[in-house]
Structure 1
């Protein structure tokens, strides 16, 4: 198999891969019910429930808002129920060169995306009739210089029971602990259950053929490390799973919000839809607080970028929301290596270039075997042509003689193809490693490349990539004689250039540098082969 056919094979495999990814996003099978799942009630709902057993679907907000600020987060909390109705990520701008921070949680008309939590049960303070109006001393809370933690308590009293909902935020962290302390000063036991849920408008998954990103739900249980649960899945069937540990989340490109229960015992993961809203959340084990007793229930809200190390430290398997697909075992080490290189060279574009040289250098033995096999096949073409003329339509005899010739000349007819097939998982893994790296978002390279996660605004990198592919084609030996195949091969660089116009510039940079490395390796390999009498042309 010659170089042009290899390029065509890469194109077909890569396009097939992208089409498969898009199809998989559109047709992701629903998770099967597990043995530990709770039974769905007669109404079909499995959400948080109020004291009267009805779903808590209250969507009201008040004008009594407070703000809590750290060095990385700016939260707006509604004192009606204590929901987080806005979360600004101060280290990430909303748009390139924008002074406004990125807003992950929001309470806007047409797109509400908030994090709710409360208490249900016989002595709960949240019900279908309304949420508790919590009291708080102050409206603005800011983590002071030299302070590592800020605690914001909100209080409520009912029937001799004192409730304190406390937000705990730490410096440099996107993990927010939400604690409910129930001080039962009544003369009988109190029964409560904490719930924590994410609520968002039912939106399309988003993404495109070249950037198949995902927006929707996800969860983790004892039996399932990580599973997406799309809005369409929520509309079709309520999630209803019991687990000792796990979390419920909503994902989008680069960012994630998730609730992680912290109490011991069995929690329930659930989802539902109502009034054009999708809900996914967790109910902690029910708690009974004796008269005169006190107990604290805690859940952690992660609201931030997909930073793998921090997420892994926050909850088991939360780092899997950085979705590398089925080649995660290759993509994850590549991302780690890329991050390590960036810590040395500082610039992420330079890190991609260095990583490309490392990857292509590691695959050099395969590349050498590929071009050596192609050169040998080129030398055998006169003999193969003579065989075709001699045996005519006798394909069986022709096949036998060809195998004998390959064996005699020690040529593997698949030698030029197998290295390409082995390289494809590397490229696909690196594709996802770059696609899922929030570190590349709005990160500049040099000159006109101000954002490695966006397409080249002037299409310079794609054009250079196409030119380098054309040079590789001209340098490579060819055995193609059919005029139609020759036209297809000649047109391949143009097709690739058009396709890469819409790719993030970081990915195009990788492919361009990879082509440059290929040209260097080709030159060195062919010179060595010519000395041995194996000519490339």
Structure 2
């Protein structure tokens, strides 16, 4: 073909346009919602009428064991703040992750300090843990609970009309999933009917940290037995009015690298729902487990799992079916997942993530070498028949039909496949995009250093050195390749292509630019080897012809 490099350039432009569109849909900042004090009679929208409202004021630590307050539950990786009024998780920090590299500050996920993002749970029904006076105020022995062994268990207790309620939180060392249990002991003379629910509530006006070249998603998601993973952007929650029953399932809220999720009992048929609180600009997604009857003198235990932490695919896959899909590689997941697995395996050997990227690039380029050889062999043959093609153009002029027929005959006679150089490009672009999403979505690369000034492979090169080197490598590749474009406009486009690519890559994750730079260097080496072998074969052919 005349402009195989043009095809690659156009493909990148199309990809950039699609990414920009996706960024506009998922990350366009919303206007802050002006909130006013809710009237006492205000009711949540349909689908959330059963949900107890969070307390309006934050209780103090001093009265935490009496009238409601904030207690701390902490493991080696997770710190939770729990409001004893209702037992909601009103704050969560990831102790092994920093807000900014080198800041020393633990990464906050859930919060109720100026911005609401909380995980609520409770019991509804005639004998639920909420009364007409408001949500239950649980009592607990300690306000500060730190893990000392492999497990931390904290009980919150409440008694009402002969029914004892225990809300139990269990944290495990090294784990981000929390087991939340409700133990209902019925000492009354009547049957107690209760139903467990859990939900995530978040303000929707916050701006995410995505950009045009690094689009990220902040919003809700859920899973059912029919659909393992569905995203539900905040803009759509108000109209979605999700209300579906499913075996197992889960509900969650996503942000870049991190996720929070409620996973109900996988053996029951659960109801998933959404709602939107207009007056506060808050989105809600949650679940309800089936109602349970607790006979007088008996005890029942209801449980669900709450996860708040990094998008670690192995851990998430063990917690719930499809929860690992929150690491969203898009339509190319079937390429991204094996590439990610290979990257992990290589990194476990070389330790450094930058070296792992270089190694995986070598592996990919080696596997693609037969296609690369086909591409440049085809290019060399096309270059060889250029004079004959020019003669055909001069002979047939504007008669396109005869020109086309003559060219096909020429290709057949010279054994040239004009499309032979396209296949490697068509294969390389999906791999490039798959790696793009691996580098964006994989929390393992967050704040991962390489060498020298590159201390975070998931963010752009602060000094633009890698993009400039990548552009220089493209320029060198262009000089080594035969320019078969005859149209002056195409020739100009080819000349400016390294500049355009360099501009695009200025904002790309440095890990991805490193991959592309190393890929270009390997391609240059392969080109030199292929062209030299072709020239050697031609010289040998001429020598044999002379001998004959």
C-alpha separation in 1, matches of 2:365 and 2:132? 61
Aligned to 2:220: 217
C-alpha separation in 1, matches of 2:449 and 2:522? 23
Aligned to 2:38: none
Aligned to 2:442: 437
CA contact 2:52–2:135 (8 Å) conserved in 1: no
Q: After superposition, what is the alpha-carbon deviation per residue over 1:300-319, rounded to whole angstroms, capped at 9, x for unaligned?
A: 00100000001101111100
CA contact 1:205–1:216 (8 Å) conserved in 2: no
Aligned to 2:48: 47
Is 2:290 aligned against 1:285? yes
TM-score by length of 1: 0.92
Aligned to 1:473: 478
Aligned to 1:164: 166
- 1:8 deviates by 2.8
Aligned to 2:110: 105
What does 1:476-487 correspond to in 2, within 5 Å? 476-487=481-492
Q: SS of the residue aligned with 1:123? A: coil
CA contact 1:184–1:289 (8 Å) conserved in 2: yes
Aligned to 1:505: 510
Q: 1:56 aligns with which of 19, 34, 52?
A: 52
Q: SS of the residue aligned with 2:418? A: coil
Aligned to 1:72: 77
Give the superposed CA RMSD: 1.8
- 1:517 deviates by 0.7
Is 2:548 aligned against 1:523? no
1:461–1:24 distance in 2 versus 1, CA, 3 Å: closer
1:501–1:43 distance in 2 versus 1, CA, 3 Å: closer
Is 2:301 aligned against 1:305? no
- 1:482 deviates by 2.6
Q: SS of the residue aligned with 1:81? A: coil
CA contact 2:20–2:213 (8 Å) conserved in 1: no
C-alpha separation in 2, matches of 1:325 and 1:242? 26
Aligned to 2:245: 242
Q: After superposition, what is the alpha-carbon deviation per residue over 1:203-251, rounded to whole angstroms, capped at 9, x for unaligned?
A: 3674222111000000000111000011111112211111111100000
Q: 2:456 aligns with which of 446, 451, 457?
A: 451
CA contact 1:167–1:176 (8 Å) conserved in 2: yes
Q: SS of the residue aligned with 2:273? A: strand
Is 2:151 aligned against 1:179? no
Aligned to 2:21: 23
CA contact 1:83–1:114 (8 Å) conserved in 2: yes
TM-score by length of 2: 0.91
C-alpha separation in 2, matches of 1:256 and 1:299? 16
C-alpha separation in 2, matches of 1:25 and 1:264? 38
When the two structures are aligned, how many residues end up with a matched partner? 512
Q: After superposition, what is the alpha-carbon deviation per residue over 1:116-144, rounded to whole angstroms, capped at 9, x for unaligned?
A: 11111111123675211110001111111
Q: 1:411 aligns with which of 407, 410, 416?
A: 416
C-alpha separation in 2, matches of 1:525 and 1:82? 68
Which ranges in structure 2 are unaligned for 5 or more consecutive residues?
27-42, 61-68, 541-548
Is 2:330 aligned against 1:325? yes
CA contact 1:263–1:284 (8 Å) conserved in 2: no
C-alpha separation in 2, matches of 1:474 and 1:127? 78
Aligned to 2:431: 426
Is 2:231 aligned against 1:228? yes
C-alpha separation in 1, matches of 2:487 and 2:311? 50
Q: SS of the residue aligned with 1:107? A: coil
1:27–1:440 distance in 2 versus 1, CA, 3 Å: closer
C-alpha separation in 2, matches of 1:93 and 1:258? 21
1:170–1:67 distance in 2 versus 1, CA, 3 Å: same
C-alpha separation in 2, matches of 1:251 and 1:500? 26
Is 2:136 aligned against 1:126? no
What does 1:260-409 correspond to in 2, within 5 Å? 260-262=263-265, 264-274=267-277, 275-409=280-414
Aligned to 1:38: none
Q: After superposition, what is the alpha-carbon deviation per residue over 1:334-392, rounded to whole angstroms, capped at 9, x for unaligned?
A: 00000010000000000000000000110000000000001100111100111111111
Is 2:110 aligned against 1:114? no
After superposing the two structures, state which structure 1 stretch, 194-203 or 302-311, moved more: 194-203
- 1:106 deviates by 1.1
CA contact 1:215–1:252 (8 Å) conserved in 2: yes
C-alpha separation in 2, matches of 1:168 and 1:388? 78
1:8–1:200 distance in 2 versus 1, CA, 3 Å: same
CA contact 1:269–1:281 (8 Å) conserved in 2: yes
After superposing the two structures, state which structure 1 stretch, 183-192 or 9-18, moved more: 9-18
Q: After superposition, what is the alpha-carbon deviation per residue over 1:91-114, rounded to whole angstroms, capped at 9, x for unaligned?
A: 1111011111111111121x2111
1:127–1:25 distance in 2 versus 1, CA, 3 Å: farther
1:484–1:96 distance in 2 versus 1, CA, 3 Å: same
Q: After superposition, what is the alpha-carbon deviation per residue over 1:240-291, rounded to whole angstroms, capped at 9, x for unaligned?
A: 1111111000001100000000263211111111121111111111111111
CA contact 2:205–2:281 (8 Å) conserved in 1: no
CA contact 2:45–2:276 (8 Å) conserved in 1: no
1:26–1:266 distance in 2 versus 1, CA, 3 Å: farther
- 1:14 deviates by 2.5
After superposing the two structures, state which structure 1 stretch, 154-163 or 427-436, moved more: 427-436
Q: SS of the residue aligned with 2:110? A: strand
- 1:515 deviates by 0.6
- 1:423 deviates by 1.6
